[in-house]
Amino acid sequence: MKESDERAILVGLELRGRTGSLAAGTAGSFGYSSEESLEELAALAESAGAAVVENVIQSRPVPEAATLIGSGKVRELAQLTEASQAGVVIFDRDLSPTQQRNLERALSVKVVDRTQLILDIFARRARTREGQLQVELAQLSYLLPRLAGRGVEMSRLGGGIGTRGPGETQLETDRRRIARRLKKIRVALESVRGHRSVQRKQRQAIPLATAALVGYTNAGKSTLFNRLTGAGVLADDRLFATLDPTIRAAILPSRRRILLSDTVGFIRNLPTTLIDAFRATLEEVIEASLLIHVVDASSAHAVHQTSHVRKVLTEIGIANTPQVLVLNKADSLPAGGIDRETVHRRMADDLGAIVQARAVSISALTGAGIERLLEAIDETLPLDPVERVRFRLPAGEGAALHLLHEFGQVRAADYADGYCNVEADVPESIRRRLSRYLVES
């Protein structure tokens, strides 16, 4: 733990029925035990610069309206906070404004819920102007309904968004300021969307297919992106290490070129404010011809994480886009690698349609299986399909022959009577471009 790290206590709530069994809606119903859910929260907290000093789990039949965990547990938590000198208490659930306010008064430290924690990580990671605007939009959308009753505590807002001063007049002033700022951000993001639309039309003028990397956060998307494109995108063993989208070209075995985009990872219970705010970025995913769904196959929760990603894809309307399922981190599995058939059977029970996607096991870190992945992308990509055709080119048409070598695979070539007869596997776009030289079969 670094001296600059903020000491944090994590708090989880486990709902149990009268018989002691897990109730619907608790962490276990999502495939995670309460302890495992807190492990993920700890990884989020560390990504936000906190040092976790204690974990607390409270079991209750129902959440307590005033404090979520009950007055007795709050007193125990206050003693633990003082003894551990923690500066923040992080809850593994979303808190209502009333619950957060009551907990802060009782604990005398900052209280943060899961959504606030994720928003804080996004704020730290946003580098581009677009990313920063999207994060601010999500933060203000989350903050607006939580203004009521904060009074002099409004000083916590900082950054000039709100000002100090109790009373309903100040509250209405803060609401108007935030509403104006939200409107301004949305206008700016619409401008970004317009620029993206122009860039997309320019790309579509040249028949380049687009593929988007999607997956649970920390599944290895950025490492794979760097492996496929040679880009220098940050690849770190932290949640949400990549936030701003990056687009690079990659070459497939058929010599087709595709545009590959690396985007933010998804996570269980991804805040709806983030999904709404990042729609401009997610357009790159929405417009993609192919989704490369990266799964951390070494994770005990690979099936559940994949299910959560599919849920988000369904929410943004692209669950039926063609996919290649990438079972990553084969180097982290026991000797023998990934038993793909076993993984398919596990996924078949929970994921249904996703098993229709072709699965490829790889290690983005070592490069194992990358050639098989490129072949799978080549075969699955619906745009600009490759076909084998014959051309009869005049001997002086060097530019056309160069085009075949650059964007296709020349299988045979011979010269006779001032012509070059070429048999090649080429994308449909190249076949159309050189259609005057086609030899009908």
pLDDT in tens, 7-43: 999 999 998 765 555 554 454 445 577 888 898 899 8
What band does 273 get if pLDDT is binned at 50, 70 and 90? Answer: low
Three-class SS string for 380-433? HCCCCCEEEEEEEEECCCHHHHHHHHHHCEEEEEEEECCEEEEEEEEEHHHHHH
Is the pLDDT reported for residue 146 higher than 50?
Answer: yes
Residue 285 is predicted with a pLDDT of 79
Domain 386-437: which topology?
A: Alpha-Beta Plaits (3.30.70)
Task: Domain ranges for the chain, please list them.
Answer: 6-112, 122-189, 207-380, 386-437
The residue with greater pLDDT, 57 or 258, is 57
> For the residues 126-132, what does the mean pLDDT come to?
74
**CB half-sphere exposure, 248, CA atoms < 13 A:** 17
Residue 166 is predicted with a pLDDT of 46
Structure tokens at 317: 């309307």
Residue 4 is predicted with a pLDDT of 58
Angle at 357 between CA 350 and CA 347, to 5 degrees: 20
Distance of alpha carbon 56 from the chain centroid:
28
The residue with greater pLDDT, 202 or 34, is 34
Give dist(CA 281, CA 274) in Å, integer: 11
CB 324 within 8 A of CB 260: no
Is the pLDDT reported for residue 250 higher than 50?
Answer: yes
Q: Over the stretch 351-392, which tens digit does the pLDDT of each residue have?
A: 444 546 788 888 898 898 899 999 999 888 877 778 889 999
Residue 244 is predicted with a pLDDT of 56
Residue 372 is predicted with a pLDDT of 92
Q: What does pLDDT average to over the chain?
A: 78
Residue 76 is predicted with a pLDDT of 95
What band does 112 get if pLDDT is binned at 50, 70 and 90? Answer: very high
Is the pLDDT reported for residue 231 higher than 80?
Answer: no
User: The domain 207-380: what is its CATH number?
Assistant: 3.40.50.300
Report percent pLDDT > 90 for the chain: 20
Give dist(CA 34, CA 428) in Å, integer: 53
The residue with greater pLDDT, 211 or 341, is 211
Q: Over the stretch 182-195, which tens digit does the pLDDT of each residue have?
A: 899 888 878 877 77
**pTM of the shown model:** 0.71
The Cα-based distances of 55 to 45, 89, 108, 146 in angstroms read 12, 10, 18, 26
Please state which of the ranges 123-132, 266-275, 312-321 shows the lowest mean pLDDT. Answer: 266-275
The residue with greater pLDDT, 165 or 278, is 278
Give dist(CA 323, CA 332) in Å, integer: 24
Q: Over the stretch 155-175, which tens digit does the pLDDT of each residue have?
A: 444 443 333 344 446 677 788
Is the pLDDT reported for residue 79 higher than 90?
Answer: yes
Residue 161 is predicted with a pLDDT of 30
Give dist(CA 258, CA 380) in Å, integer: 13
Q: Is-same-fold flag (6-112; 207-380)? A: yes
The residue with greater pLDDT, 205 or 393, is 393
Instruction: Tell me which of 3.40.50.11060, 3.40.190.80, 1.10.287.70, 3.30.9.10 is the CATH number of domain 6-112.
Output: 3.40.50.11060
